[in-house]
Amino acid sequence: MDKQQQPTNDPAAIASERATTRQTPKSRFRQQAIDLAEQQIESCEPRLALSASLAAEILLESLDVQIASVAEPATDSASGNQADVQATSGAMATDGDAEPFANLIDQANEVRAPLGLDGSGQTVAIIDSGIAWDHIALGGGYGPGYRVVGGWDFAEDDANPYDDGPAGFHGSHIAGLIAGDAEGFEGVAPGADLVGLRVFDDHGASELQWIESALQWVHDNQDSFESPITTVNLSVGAALSDDNRAEATAMLADELQQLRDDQILVFAAAGNFFGSSQADGDNQILFPASDPNVVAVSSVGSDGSLSDFAQREDGIIATQGESVRSSVPDHVFGWDGKVDDFAALDGTSMATPQVAAASMVIRQAMIEQGLEPTADEILARLNDSARSHVDSVTGETYQTVDLANAVRSTTDVETNLTPPTTIDQFAGSSESEHVELDLTDGIKMRIGDRVYDLQPNDAGDPLVIDVGNGADSIQIVGSDAAERLALYPVSASDTGDGQSSRLSTSEFEIELRGFENVAFDGGGGRDRATLYDSTGNDRLESGPGSARLSGVGFQFDVSNVNHIYVHATNGGSDSAYLNDSPGDDSLAVRPQFTSLRTDQTFQLAYGFERVNAYATSGGDDTAKIYDSSGDDTMSVSASRTMIAGPNYQVTARGFDSVIGHANAGGDDVAKIYGDPTSNQWHSTDDMVQWTGQDNAVRVARGFERTTAFENYQPISLQPLSLTSLMGADDDEREALV
């Protein structure tokens, strides 16, 4: 039977039946681990759960769902109870603007052709039921080079976030609205890349912990793809009660604040329960859309009036969420081997991705104007250019997106800037502020639309930029001169020891006060950055010329800096991760510090309790390890080297040669593991050395006890006598030195 002729009065039942006989890309991906799914899950404490349905818009059997091929627009309803669920928009008084409402898909088409604005250069994370990445509108594949560049399945804990049946399809529909691109169909930002974060299982159930993990994943991986993650879509939500409100909001508050600090915008569906009963909670914005760091999105009909089902509040942003057509997985209407199905759905879930994608287009337009927009500046552009309306049901205002107006507004930014003002210090407010500091030609500072020239006074006092309280950030672009940067977390600089963050050159010094987030690009020259930790547990990630030090309430990023020094001496349990270059690197490990250097760069981690060094980028890399005055244990193998002693532990992976020294005291023990194929051993009274075919060495000097292993079994070594050493040729004697 042709798919268009199948009975479609119960698509969910069809999808469930078909799912028992056909493999999805997800099931093929995980077939080696299928037995794990049959294991019984242990019961846990009661958990907060999010429903994938968000009222009726996600239940196929409760929708006016339409299906069409790419070539043929949808015409036939697939629902048997269409009359029960068709939303009729409530009455509304507009602001007198007689111009008809235009949906965002059409608006995006109008600005794309003349301006080329399609969301390119950005990635959006979709936290939902997954993405059917094999759909023709979603790139037809998964990973680098495809539209869906990556993701994670938090429901099944694997790296393939496919939108599985029987309940899955919601995330694929959202993905299409954001960045779909096929013949006869385009999303609002078809040039954007997609990341799928699956937080619903095959049956549509979710847990708030999965949402929390997904938000943290976005923060951790925001720069892991060719285009950075700038936007998050959360078309999920829950109506909270007094019993669970505090717990639920607390679980996600830190992650949502963190993403706003990262300048990543999070959009969430307002909900679809409006007026369902007289209960007070029915008219509230759902969580997490109600969080102050999230942009709540409501739904309007084709005439621009609020949908009857849509939650609302004063000033909320909205766009069309009724009968919105987009991509769905092949299993939804029955398998035919062609992943090219589309369906029309209702709900604030359908409005949210369109607004999220519109913000990406606005961000792109602002960047192309030479700006570096913050999240707040993008939202201001979105809201200031929107059309205002009044809802006659509540008397509150709401706004519909005017994308062309928002994009046009960006062309006026430069001409409307206040002329530069010359100052030698700046005092901010208690509000959150983002500062841009450019040292490439003088010292120029930009805060929003205000531009300042900073000039040292005649006395030569430091320039001062003090932003006060609030969650403040600064982005610094260095010059080709030599700059010195010292950064302290706000909490550390407020302890009364007089330390504050400073940026200096041979000509000036700038004191930076109150910044929780600092990003510095050296811009060339012999630059040096010194970063200091907080009293909490902090994490360092560094590589040749770059580093990120982060902890609770702060983050420091430096790039294009040849010499980086990071101190973790302020307390807490701190961890460092050092990465090598493609060339030859040299690692030095001591109990107090670990350094990794190349001919051009140097990175040092001082005082960290745990250090991990990686040599995985190529080159001939060497590690030299020194013990403490206490009892130390060193283990050296092809895959990993580790030394541990009192209050420290260092792990080095991938280094070709490792030389360990134990001459600082204590009762020290070493283990050296040979390779399965080639082992050449040398031993003296205070040294054991393994040499490989490529002349790589593993050496332990001065250890009280050293054990050699082959095939993970200890072997006995006889120390070389003086006679045998004298009889060795020059190359052999040199290898023993």
Helix (H, G, I), strand (E, B) or coil at 382: helix
Neighbours of 243 (CB within 10 A): 8
- Please provide the distance, in angstroms rounded to a whole number, between the alpha carbons at the two ends of the chain: 80
Residue 727 has pLDDT above 90, yes or no: no
Q: What type of residue is 118?
A: D
Among 356-370, 415-429, 485-499, the range scoring the smallest mean pLDDT is: 415-429
C-alpha–C-alpha distance, residues 190 and 236, integer Å = 22
pLDDT of residue 424: 65
Among 33-37, 413-417, 453-457, the range scoring the smallest mean pLDDT is: 33-37
Give the confidence band of 44 by pLDDT, cuts at 50, 70, 90.
very low
Of the two residues 378 and 19, the one the predictor is more confident about is: 378
Give residue-wise pLDDT tens across range 399-437. 999 998 898 754 444 434 445 566 667 776 667 788 999
pLDDT of residue 273: 86
Helix (H, G, I), strand (E, B) or coil at 18: helix
pLDDT of residue 472: 86
Give the confidence band of 627 by pLDDT, cuts at 50, 70, 90.
very high
Query: Among candidates 632, 668, 667, 630, which has minimal Cα distance to 649?
Result: 632
pLDDT of residue 428: 64
404 within 8 A of 115, measured Cβ to Cβ: no
Give the CA distances from residue 55 to residues 324, 398, 418, in Å, rounded to whole numbers and listed in that order.
Answer: 16, 22, 48
Query: Among candidates 350, 336, 314, which has minimal Cα distance to 56?
Result: 350
pLDDT of residue 95: 35
Neighbours of 479 (CB within 10 A): 18
Q: 470 in the Ramachandran plot: left (φ > 0), alpha (ψ -120 to 50) or beta?
A: left
Give the angle 515-520-523 at the CA atoms, nearest 5°: 155
Residue 81 has pLDDT above 50, yes or no: no
C-alpha–C-alpha distance, residues 520 and 717, integer Å = 53
φ, ψ of residue 730 to 5 degrees: the values are -60, -40
C-alpha–C-alpha distance, residues 259 and 286, integer Å = 19
Neighbours of 43 (CB within 10 A): 6
Residue 105 has pLDDT above 90, yes or no: yes
DSSP assigned state of 667:
-
Query: Among candidates 510, 508, 571, which has minimal Cα distance to 500?
Result: 510
pLDDT of residue 570: 92
pLDDT of residue 268: 97
Sheet architecture: strand order including 123-128: 92-94, 387-391, 397-400, 316-320, 295-300, 265-269, 229-234, 123-128, 193-198, 148-153
pLDDT of residue 152: 97
The whole model's pTM is what? 0.51
pLDDT of residue 235: 93
Q: Which residues contact 176 (CB under 8 A, 6 or more apart)?
A: 135, 137, 138, 185, 187, 326, 327, 342
Mean pLDDT of 531-558: 95
pLDDT of residue 48: 36
Q: What is the mean pLDDT of the chain?
A: 81
451 within 8 A of 437, measured Cβ to Cβ: no
C-alpha–C-alpha distance, residues 150 and 160, integer Å = 8
C-alpha–C-alpha distance, residues 605 and 602, integer Å = 10
pLDDT of residue 377: 94
Give residue-wise pLDDT tens across range 125-178. 999 999 999 999 999 999 999 999 999 999 999 999 999 888 889 999 999 999
Residue 283 has pLDDT above 90, yes or no: no
C-alpha–C-alpha distance, residues 488 and 499, integer Å = 7
Query: Which tokens hold the place of 419?
Result: 């002329």
pLDDT of residue 126: 98
Give the CA distances from residue 217 to residues 266, 516, 647, in Å, rounded to whole numbers and listed in that order.
Answer: 14, 21, 30
Residue 708 has pLDDT above 90, yes or no: yes
Among 5-19, 335-349, 417-431, 464-478, the range scoring the smallest mean pLDDT is: 5-19
- C-alpha dihedral sign at 114, 115, 116, 118: negative
pLDDT of residue 725: 36
Give residue-wise pLDDT tens across range 647-693. 889 999 999 999 999 998 999 999 999 988 778 999 998 899 999 98
Query: Which residues sit opposite 610 in a β-bridge?
Result: 575, 649
pLDDT of residue 422: 63
C-alpha–C-alpha distance, residues 445 and 289, integer Å = 34
pLDDT of residue 591: 86
Query: Among candidates 663, 669, 658, which has minimal Cα distance to 705?
Result: 669
Domains of the chain: 3-37+48-68+78-410 (3.40.50.200), 418-563 (no CATH), 574-737 (no CATH)
pLDDT of residue 731: 41
